Structures are given as structure tokens and as C-alpha cells.
Structure 1
């Protein structure tokens, strides 16, 4: 502790923001789907893993990371459209546990399919050449790729906010989340909106997968731990709240980073302790609406 300085603390906070960026993207997808469809998507981690594997495959073909950043969310989003249309949609209006159990089983099917196609061992995904190295932030040197991750997440969140708040389709999505019956009366096909939302949520999960791939080995099981962490972030922020997903994602990332500095063995436990503390004070989460799960 004698070597602890203000610069080190600030650098660790920036590290937490970079880690939280992945949590933000995952939680946004979960919150978007739940807030509109009231579907607890337990296959979200599998879509995250699928984005990483699709990124590895496409990068092998194109050798262009930027092209992969465009194609991966489109590909995983398309898969999400198929899942919503043929598997999830027949369960609307039924008990909330039905789509939960469906997506839980679907996640295992995706994992086993990837194991069959790519094997059990992890696949390394190198940091793109243009994003290697470190930059001086004035408080110390910070990996360039992690800084890119923070900026990319900010751009994605801003773009999503503009889409939801400033476009006609975003207005329909917000209205459908509040009262789908009124939207139907106005002659709008709510089913198409649900399809779009599910595809958008899964596409963002796929994008977070390829963004996380250079930071860890790409394995069939990589989506399992992040799914638990993403649900913690979603619960802390409030189920269905996009603002909550952003705030809680960054908060969880910083908590993990700071805990890793002072007590590394408690880093994973710290996020669950944070969730318990928040739920004791606000059972609906920081920005959640009471009774949303009922």
C-alpha cells in the first residue's frame, strides 16, 4: 500500500471504465429486450460468444477488423431475428418463465454447436495492429485498445440513444414498451417492432463479443461468466432501463477494478456484494420501475 498514488488510483478507475464498457454493451442488449418484450434472455451470453467466434471466422477471411465490427453485429442480429420469429414469439403472453427456460436451453445448444464446429480449445484473437501499444494519459500509460473500447462504447450508446429518442422508430419502440395495445390500435404492427428490438439487442451482444475477443481467449464457454455479470449489471441498473444499464455497467467495472487493486481475491465477489447492497436499498434497481417483473 506504500506505493499507492493518486495517479495509480485514477489509472485503475480508467481500467474499470474499460472493463465496464463490455458490461454496458451486454446489459444494454438485455435491458432493451426485457424492457420491450419482457423476455429474460438467458441466451444472451451465447450471442456474445457467437459474436466472438464469428469475428474470428470473418477476420480470417477479410484480415480487416473494421469490416468485422460491421458484419458481426449484422450476422448475430440476423440470428436473433430468426430466434425471435420462430422460437420466442409463440411464447408471448404466457408465463415469464417460458421464454426464460427456452433461451436457457437455447444457450446450451449454441455452446454445444460451437464445440462441435470449432473444438473445445480456445482460439486466440490478437489485438488489431493499429490498436496495439499504449498511450500516455498524463497519469500513466494505458493500453490503446482499452481506450478504443471506451470510445467505441460511448459512440454506440450515443447512437442508440439518438435512435430511440430522436427517430420515429424509436418513438414507436418507447410507446410499445409502455402500452402495446394502444400502438396496435394506431395500426402499427407491434410484432415487427418486437422483431427489430430482439435483433438489435442480440446484435449488440454479438458486437460486444468481438470487442472483448482481443482481451481474452475465444472459447465456447466464454459467454457463461459474462452472462451472470451482465445480469448483475442489469439488476443493479434496473430491469428494462437503458440509463441504468450504462450507469451500472460502469459502476460494476470500477468496483471490480478497485477491488482487484486492494483485494484481488475478492474481485469477482465484489459485484455480487454490490448487487445485494443496491437491492437492499432499492429492490427495483437504481433506475428500475417497481413491479416490472410482475
Structure 2
């Protein structure tokens, strides 16, 4: 195949695949952040720690209880989601109605504590998590080799993202969630238990982060700082897409993942700063984000 701008097509397509997979993780994580901000008005800096805990939950299930990957896709998000609900009920609920900066500081401190505990016990090195047997190997597409697990990760992440978008934007439950966000007093007058709804929503969003951690474990290994490595980029994705915008988080996550992958091919030195350069430009041109709305 003819090189494009001096780059072999195989290398270009490989980086596009890596970019799409990273973008799928960005979308899944920023989706949870957008749900939490939209519902609770909390900038959840502990999201990366919950992502890491999802990966460790899958690792514990496999190594301590011999429970494999497929059950872990359900059990790990459930367990971390319950922990998230406990955090909301015991900590974040006390900050309701005051300046959001306190929620940011609380979740930032919580993330440091969680990461410190895991790093103290497991160290900084990664722990291997095997690819499930059914998804080992790959397919030769002629222009590139496509690993089956990476293809599964991309398709499953997209299915989850758009399912959540549909549930929030196109169902009665989503309408109730939006109503509770915009006018909690009126929603409570219709018999809806708003505090319980908020707790369940936070637990669900945290569970999405844990699900992303389980999906990432066979690709990136399980490390205490794996959440810290990605959470800043995910926050940039949320800001670019528009704080609280579900579709903005999904589309922006995917696009920025692809852009990051292409940058690694054509100008590797800028790969780690591309997302933040885009964020600066978007904030200058459209401060509410690409899909955000003015308050």
C-alpha cells in the first residue's frame, strides 16, 4: 500500500484503532462525569479512582474467587457502584446546596486517599489481567491486524454509551432525572424521592467508571495510578463537549481519541497536549463547550 505523508498505512490504521479505543474509554468515563455534574452539580475528581477500583475488583474476583471476566463485567460495576452510593450518602449529601468547589475538593481528596492506599499495598507496577479466552487472537483485514478484544471493547463501550444516552434523553425515567435536576422541589411534590434518585444516579455513574476499568484491565494492566493517568484528559473531554452534556461527552470522547491517535503518527511530540490545546481553543470560542447550553 502507498504511504501517506511518509507514514505506512498499517501504522496509520493501527493508531486509528488505538485512538478509537482510547476515545471509547474517554467517552465512557466522561459520560459518568457528565451524569454526575448534570444531576448533582459536583465535579467528581474521584472518578479516576473508581475507574481504577473497577479494574482491581475484576482482578480480585479472578485471583481470589476464580470468577472470570464475563461475570466481572456485572459484579465489579455493581460493587463499586454500591460504594459510590455510600460516598454520596455519607459525604456528598452534606455538601448539597453549597459552593460546588467543596465537592471538587472532597472528591479530589478522596481520590488521593484511595490511590495512596492501593499504591501502598500493590506498588506502582501493573498487574496482568488475561484477555478472556473467547476474545483472544484477531482478524487479518488486509490493511491491518484487528485484535478481537480491542474490537469488542470498542463496540461494547459504544453500545453502553448510546444506551445510556437513550435512557436519559428518550425515556420517562430520563425525564424524571432531568426534572429532578432542574426543579427538585416540584419533582418531590409529585411523589418522587429525589434524594434516593440522586444517590442511585451517582452510584450508576460510578458504576460506569468501574465498567470502563474492567474493560481496560486486559489492555492496560491493573495499576493503582491508572485512574490518575486518564482522569485529567477525561475532564478536558467533558469541558470540550459541554459540562453535563451526555451526547457531547460521547462524541467528543471519540473524536479526541482519534485526534490523539493521528497526532501520535504525524507529530508524536504533541500527542499528550493535543486534547488540552483543543480545550483552550473551544473555551475561547465557545465557553459552554461544543454541545453545552448557556445557563
Secondary structure of 1:268 counterpart = coil
Deviations 1:243-273 (A, max 9, x none): 0000110011001100011112211111111
| Distance change >3 Å, CA 109–CA 8, structure 1 → 2 | closer
Return the alpha-carbon distance in structure 2 between the equivalents of residues 112 and 8 of structure 1: 37
User: Secondary structure at the residue paired with 2:272?
Assistant: helix
Is the Cα–Cα contact under 8 Å of residues 15 and 264 in structure 2 kept in the other structure?
no
Alpha-carbon separation, structure 1, partners of 2:28 and 2:119: 25
1:237 counterpart = 2:245: no
Post-superposition offset of 1:121? 3.1
Structure 1 residue 13: deviation in Å? 2.9
| Aligned equivalents of 1:165, 1:283: Cα separation in 2 | 23
Give the Cα separation in 1 of the matches to 2:91 and 2:292. 28
What is the number of residues matched between the two proteins?
A: 291
Q: In the alignment, which of 200, 205, 211 is matched to residue 209 of structure 2?
A: 205
Q: Secondary structure at the match of 2:273?
A: helix
Cα distance between partner residues in 1 of 2:248 and 2:170 = 19
Report the TM-score, using the length of structure 2 for normalisation.
0.93
Give 1:9 deviation, angstroms: 4.2
Aligned partner of 1:31 in structure 2 is 34
- On the 8 A contact 1:25/1:205 being kept in 2, the answer is yes
Instruction: Classify the secondary structure of the residue corresponding to 2:146.
Output: strand
- Counterpart among 156, 175, 180 of residue 176 in structure 1: 180
Q: Which stretch has the larger CA shift, 75-84 or 210-219?
A: 210-219
8 Å contact kept, 2:80–2:207: yes
Q: Give matches, 1:88-237, under 5 Å.
A: 88-137=92-141, 139-237=143-241
Match of 1:56 in 2: 59
Q: Normalization by structure 1: what TM-score?
A: 0.93
**5+ long unaligned stretches in structure 2:** none
Separation in 2, partners of 1:110, 1:7? 40
Residue number in structure 1 paired with 2:275:
271
Distance 1:125-1:276 versus aligned 2 partners, 3 A rule: same
Structure 1: state its 5+ residue gaps. Answer: none
Shift of 1:25: 0.6
The answer to whether the Cα contact below 8 Å between 2:38 and 2:244 also exists between their aligned partners in 1 is: yes
Offset at 1:11?
4.8
Would you say 1:45 and 2:48 are equivalent positions? yes
